Amino acid sequence: MAERWSLRLRIFLFFALVGLGGLALFAGALVLAGARIGPEATPHLVLAGGIGGLGLLVLTAWVWQLFDENVARPIMLLSGELSATAEAKSTAARLSTDKARYLGALGPAAAGIAEALGRERSTAEGAVKAAIDEVLAEKAQLEAVLRDLRECVLICNLEHEILLYNAEAQRLLGLDAQIGLGRPLFRLVTEQPVRHALDRVKLRFADGRHRTHHDYLSVAVVCATRDGRLTLQGRLSLILDAAGDAVDGFVLTLRDATQPIADHAARDHLLKEMLEGLRRPTANLRAAAEILSGGMAPDAKTQARFVGVMTEEAETLARRIDRLAGAYNELRIGGWSMNDVTAIALVACARDRLADLPELELAHAGADCWLNCDSFSVVEMLALFCREIAGATGVGRIEIAATPDGGHVFVDLVWQGVPLGESAFEPWLNRPLVEGLAGLTARDVLLHHRTEIWSERVGPDHARLRLPLQPAVEDHVSAPASELPARPEFYDFSLLRRRAAGKMAETPLTELACVVFDTETTGLFPSAGDEIVQIAGVRVLNGRVIRGERFDRLIDPGRRIPAASTRIHGITDAMVADQPDARAVLPAFHDFAADAVLVAHNAPFDLKFLQLKEGLIGRRFDNPVLDTVLLSAHLFGHGAEHTLDALAERFGIGFPEGQRHTAFADALVTAEVLCMLIPVLNARGVRTLGDALAVSDEAVAIRRKQARY
């Protein structure tokens, strides 16, 4: 029992024993003196003894207080920080020795130990880094493939939890609240098609049929996004364990098949309409033809009527064929890939295609601009036109200019000379552009782009071939496309071995899914009308920060932001004027934090703002909550500093420059602090969420008691 007592309690008991022992000895000495002197000295001895005993107790208490303040507390702080340094595995952690100034060489020695440990860790990390450089290079190659792969890639365990996704999955399935490591796959896609495909291929593996099956351990799958927005098509493939004896998970590759499937259905409908629509006029024409050619010699009036029927049906048939041909061309055209591209890029590619004609100079003229086209086929067509123009006119220089005008971008091939007649370039349109592409011609490219070309004079001595194309779909100048993370850091293969979790309280801290969040507000009093102006969060999974899974929104508070608050977080009324209000933002944050532990620094403050909005948004923030202030108090004692700045300095964590007191920067640093606290908590026996909640409750009780004094 005594082994579990804290150092301060033991020292207090030691001084109490010294005081009480001294008082007992003092009283014994006075009794002995009274026996020798006689009864007449008893009142004097009692008075002197009382004063001396009280003085002894006061002196003992005073010395204990000094010892506690200058020795016991600093020793506990040093031990806590040494533990944190040892367990947090940070090479940048710094040991504060300010309060250990009366401990002699102990403070500098502890700081030296921490520095030496940091140096040893740095050396060890360098050795480890050198040893795994080759692995990291292979990992980087894999990440580059995943990042640039234009198919959505998801790897899941058998509980259908996501353990890897690439940038295309993030783009296709949702950047905000839905996709995330450890989160259910079936929040993103419809469940039954994927389950059916998984059951099929698992049964194939169990029966051993995969060894001879042409698809081995994969199967085609068609599903949809949960909101029904997209139809997805791809393959599901099993992941086996190292021995190849058991299924560990599966890989799901998907692409957007909404338009191709719709086009296929439209073609089927078109074919059905063609068969049904052509049957009647064809039968009428056949019947009329049989009557006229059957030797029945109808009279002139009947013959005229039959000729009229045949003419009318022929015209009906011609109109229907024209309409069906047009509809078919629309479907055929719609299957081509169209992308935004710059004019300079088109010129550079066309120049490469004409590398075998060194005598022809191809130059870009005018300013660059963006346009929308199938760049491959357009480049091939421009290269063909340049070859033919050079061959027909003998010119050695052709300029390509792109000019936005009237809802089009006019791509002009300009040369010195006279315009070409239509009969001159008409044959070019029917020549195949590239071998192996089913005879693709320039006319096909024009049809695909719904455009045409013509030649005209430009100035007194120049001519051009003009090609109108569509402008770019996106605004690449004033509103550049938002960037996805440069590499897919969103993976965690430890989830591959994870099985269905029991009670959440029993989940180890190292396996928790957390959302660490922070708010910036108009003031400090939520119950008095202060409102949130910014909320941000970042996910922590399996003890590491998933920086690619973040939430960061400004909120219109519906009231003015005091200047004093703006001085702290830098958010002004103008910055939130066009932002959504809490009714729109907080449900999205609730989705982002679903099934996770909420973590904050001084959590009651931030959580109060959320709880006051539960009635407004119709949702409850009933997640388990951890507070890094309370966890720090448990580890380092209530006498240490537990501000976010102090914890960040203790663990060697830096704030992004100029972003202190922004919600996302504070949430990110709090997340890093949490990851440093978890191994220290584990070393102190706090291993599960339930343990962490219990010690947090103890810390709350202690702080409440301290507040009374």
For 28-43, what is each residue's pLDDT tens digit? 777 777 777 777 777 7
417 versus 279: the higher-pLDDT residue is 417
Strand ranges, E, within 301-353: 339-342
Lowest mean pLDDT among 125-139, 143-157, 467-481, 648-662: 125-139
Token reading at 352: 């490469």
> Which residues are within 8 A (CB) of 357 and not within 5 positions of it... i.e. 6 or more apart?
387, 390
* Model confidence at 379: pLDDT above 50: yes
Lowest mean pLDDT among 79-83, 95-99, 209-213, 346-350: 95-99
Q: Which of 91-100, 275-284, 303-312 has the highest mean pLDDT?
A: 303-312
pLDDT of residue 432: 82
Lowest mean pLDDT among 70-79, 343-352, 528-537, 550-559: 70-79
The pLDDT-based confidence of 145 (bands split at 50, 70, 90) is low
Lowest mean pLDDT among 48-57, 268-277, 391-400: 268-277
Averaged pLDDT, 545-554: 89
Token reading at 9: 């309690």
Q: Count Cα atoms within 13 angstroms, Cβ side, for 65.
A: 6
pLDDT of residue 326: 58
Q: Which of 164-168, 281-285, 336-340, 368-372 has the highest mean pLDDT?
A: 368-372
Token reading at 436: 């192996």
123 versus 537: the higher-pLDDT residue is 537
For residue 270, the 8-state DSSP code is H
pLDDT of residue 671: 94
* Model confidence at 265: pLDDT above 60: no
The pLDDT-based confidence of 498 (bands split at 50, 70, 90) is very low
pLDDT of residue 487: 39
* Claim: this prediction has a pTM higher than 0.85: no
Averaged pLDDT, 544-557: 91
Within 10 angstroms of residue 702's Cβ, the number of other Cβ atoms is: 15
For 80-91, what is each residue's pLDDT tens digit? 666 666 665 555
- Edge-to-edge, what's the strand order for the sheet holding 218-224? 162-165, 152-157, 247-256, 231-240, 218-224
Q: Which residues are catalytic?
A: 661
Averaged pLDDT, 422-438: 76
Q: Of all residues in the chain, what percent carry a pLDDT higher than 70?
A: 72
Question: What is the DSSP pairing of strand 152-157 with strand 162-165?
Answer: antiparallel
The pLDDT-based confidence of 303 (bands split at 50, 70, 90) is low
For residues 378 and 469, is the Cβ–Cβ distance under 8 A? yes
Beta bridge partners of residue 237, listed in sequence order: 218, 251
For residues 176 and 592, is the Cβ–Cβ distance under 8 A? yes
Averaged pLDDT, 246-270: 73
pLDDT of residue 615: 93
pLDDT of residue 709: 44
Q: Which of 54-58, 73-77, 90-94, 349-353 has the highest mean pLDDT?
A: 349-353
pLDDT of residue 125: 64
**Average per-residue pLDDT in the chain?**
79
pLDDT of residue 628: 93
Averaged pLDDT, 208-216: 84
pLDDT of residue 333: 46
pLDDT of residue 447: 82
Lowest mean pLDDT among 67-71, 207-211, 322-326, 604-608: 322-326
The pLDDT-based confidence of 283 (bands split at 50, 70, 90) is low
Averaged pLDDT, 178-206: 86
102-133 burial string, b = 16+ CB within 10 Å, else e?
ebeeebeebbeebeebbeebeeeeeeeeeeee
Cα–Cα distance measured from residue 106 to residue 74, given in angstroms and rounded to the nearest whole number: 10
Domains of the chain: 2-129 (no CATH), 137-256 (3.30.450.20), 261-334 (1.10.287), 339-471 (3.30.565.10), 503-707 (3.30.420.10)
pLDDT of residue 245: 87
Averaged pLDDT, 667-678: 93
At 141, the amino acid letter reads: Q
* Model confidence at 70: pLDDT above 50: yes
pLDDT of residue 56: 78
* Model confidence at 463: pLDDT above 50: yes
The pLDDT-based confidence of 484 (bands split at 50, 70, 90) is very low
Beta bridge partners of residue 371, listed in sequence order: 341, 471
pLDDT of residue 551: 92
Lowest mean pLDDT among 115-129, 613-627, 684-698: 115-129
> Could you tell me which of 141, 133, 81, 126 has the C-alpha nearest to residue 106?
81
Q: Of all residues in the chain, what percent carry a pLDDT higher than 90?
A: 26
* Model confidence at 501: pLDDT above 50: no
